[in-house]
């Protein structure tokens, strides 16, 4: 069984948002093409960054600290971000025009103020599961196709966890965009994913009948 995992295509990650991913809005159209294609995926799920206002990844919650600085958060190295994707706010909602009605399930992450959660599967300490791994296993999924925002954070860590879980994992290049806090981060992420056995594909290739054809 094949699953499509749509990672964090939310308002706050779009241009103009507090954690804007450059050209992040360009992930929406290819994602919709895949969401609208019938029969390509057996399961379609999304992840949603969903933080409480007092989340420890927000620079605003650490007096004197600025976004981009790195701190120790409950024993893990943590990059500080601008306040983003606060539960129930407009910024946490899926991007306008995204065909979110196609999502069978949405897995929320980052609710625990003491730990961040880039991967859609586990928090950054691999302490708690979001339920996504169990859900996919229950549906007999062996292959996952991953896209969304941001390539160098949540997409990357979701794909790495998928590989660790033994899933055949595909990264849909044209439907992802990265933060690039440091120039070259997206390229480094792609190289890291490839080294771990994540395979590269595109929406066109998938819509033509899959990478194997
Ligand atoms: C993300 C940084 C902080 C992401 C989420 O979705 O890639 N990045 N929270
Ligand atoms: Zn976040």
Q: How far apart are CA 140 and CA 156, in angstroms?
A: 23
Catalytic residues, which ones? 8, 109, 154
Helix (H) or strand (E) holding 194: helix 185-195
pLDDT at residue number 174: 98
Q: How far apart are CA 148 and CA 150, in angstroms?
A: 6
Rg over CA atoms, the chain: 16
**Which residues, at least 6 apart from 116, have a Cβ–Cβ distance to it below 8 Å?**
55, 56, 57, 73, 76, 78, 110, 123, 124
Confidence band for 212, pLDDT divided at 50, 70 and 90:
low
Q: Where are the domains of the chain?
A: 2-49+85-207
- Taking CA atoms only, the protein residue closest to ligand 1 atom 8 is 153
In tens, the pLDDT along 160-184 reads: 999 999 999 999 999 999 999 999 9
Stronger pLDDT, 211 or 66, i.e. the higher one = 66
User: Per CATH, is 2-49+85-207 categorized as 3.30.1280.10?
Assistant: no
Coil, helix or strand for 129? strand
Q: Look at the block and give the residue holding tokens 């849909």.
A: 172
DSSP states along 44-69: EEEEEE-B-TT-TTBGGGSTT--TT-
Coil, helix or strand for 133? helix
Instruction: Say if residue 213's pLDDT is above 70.
Output: no
Cβ(9)–Cβ(50) under 8 Å? no
Single pTM value for the model = 0.97
Residue 149: nearest ligand to its CA? 1
Pocket test for ligand 1, best of 13, 55, 115, 152 (most atoms within 8 A of CB): 13
Q: How far apart are CA 52 and CA 44, in angstroms?
A: 26
Residue 120: nearest ligand to its CA? 1
Ligand 1 pocket list (CB less than 6 A): 8, 13, 49, 81, 149-150, 153-154
In tens, the pLDDT along 46-63 reads: 999 999 999 999 999 999
Q: How far apart are CA 145 and CA 63, in angstroms?
A: 40
């Amino acid at each position: 069984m094949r699953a499509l995992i749509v990672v964090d295509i939310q308002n706050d990650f779009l241009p103009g948002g507090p954690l804007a991913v450059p050209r992040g809005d360009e992930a929406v159209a290819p994602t919709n093409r895949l969401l609208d294609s019938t029969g390509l995926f057996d399961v379609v799920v999304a992840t949603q960054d969903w933080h409480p206002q007092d989340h420890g990844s927000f620079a605003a919650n650490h007096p004197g600290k600025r976004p981009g600085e790195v701190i120790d958060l409950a024993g893990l190295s943590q990059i500080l971000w601008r306040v983003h994707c606060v539960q129930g706010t407009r910024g946490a909602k899926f991007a306008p025009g995204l065909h979110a009605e196609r999502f069978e399930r949405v897995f929320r992450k980052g609710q625990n103020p003491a730990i961040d959660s880039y991967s859609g599967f586990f928090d950054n300490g691999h302490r708690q599961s979001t339920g996504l791994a169990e859900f996919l296993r229950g549906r007999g999924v062996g292959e996952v196709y991953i896209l969304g925002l941001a390539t160098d954070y949540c997409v990357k860590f979701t794909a790495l966890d998928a590989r660790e879980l033994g899933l055949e994992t595909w990264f849909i290049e044209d439907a992802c965009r990265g933060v690039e806090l440091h120039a070259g981060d997206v390229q480094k992420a792609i190289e890291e994913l490839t080294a771990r056995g994540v395979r590269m594909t595109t929406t066109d290739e998938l819509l033509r009948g899959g990478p194997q054809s």
